[in-house]
Amino acid sequence: MMASKPGKPTKIIFPKVLAGTVVEYVPSKTIFSQGEQCKDVHYIQEGVVKLVLVSRRGRSGVLGFLGRGDFFGEACIGGHAIYQTSAITMVPSKIMVIERKKMIRLIEKEPHVCTQFINYLLSRNNRIEQDLIDHLFNSSEKRLARALLLLNDYEKGSENPSILQRVTQDTLAEMIGTTRPRVNFFMNKFRRLGYIIYNYKGGLEIYKSLSNVLQ
């Protein structure tokens, strides 16, 4: 099965009337946990956040990854009492926390924001659906290539372009559901093929040619 290219979610440019508290998080910090009271919408100004779901039997799985310009925890707008997943930072992140009532008021008073927000949610949910399909049907090599391309998109235009430098092979293994040795094997393969390079700063540079793996 051909792996789909990582979709780019619709970003919303909010009017200045939107107010929220900006909180800075270190990597691997839990923003909220599954089962906690759902009362705020969260917006990623910088960084990457993973959404983790734990089953009743205690098995955990990564539902998806979100980056700069993405929302999460928006289910509170629809009346959900608790968060359905846990949200954990992968890299240093700046998160705007918006109170439920403020977000609802903005959507009600600004029709164009409401339209953009709906379009964003549809786009984001489609991308998460593609992530799940990717995990079910594609090889770990294609999943890794897709994850790297997605992280590269998040890093572009970031105030602190160090996402790829901070994401370890262990984290990549967790993202795609495989082992670190497998990630290391494919990263070396991508490097030999000229799809990626490690720069002098210790960071990682991704070339568009990496998308050839998805063919």
* pLDDT of residue 131 exceeding 90: no
Torsion angle of C-alpha atoms 94, 99, 104, 105, degrees rounded to 10: -100
Among 37-41, 149-153, 155-159, whose mean pLDDT is lowest? 155-159
Residue 90's pLDDT band (cuts 50, 70, 90)? confident
Q: 20 versus 196: which is more confidently predicted?
A: 196
Mean pLDDT of the chain: 84
Q: Are strands 86-89 and 30-32 parallel, antiparallel or unpaired?
A: antiparallel
Task: Give whole-number Cα distances, 97 to 38, 51, 64, 187, in Å.
Answer: 12, 16, 20, 36
**Highest-pLDDT range among 13-17, 62-66, 138-142:** 138-142
Residue whose pair of structure tokens reads 């090599």 in the numeric block: 141
**Whether the predicted model's global pTM rises above the 0.95 cut:** no
Angle between helices 140-155 and 180-192 (to 10 degrees): 70
Residue 198's pLDDT band (cuts 50, 70, 90)? confident
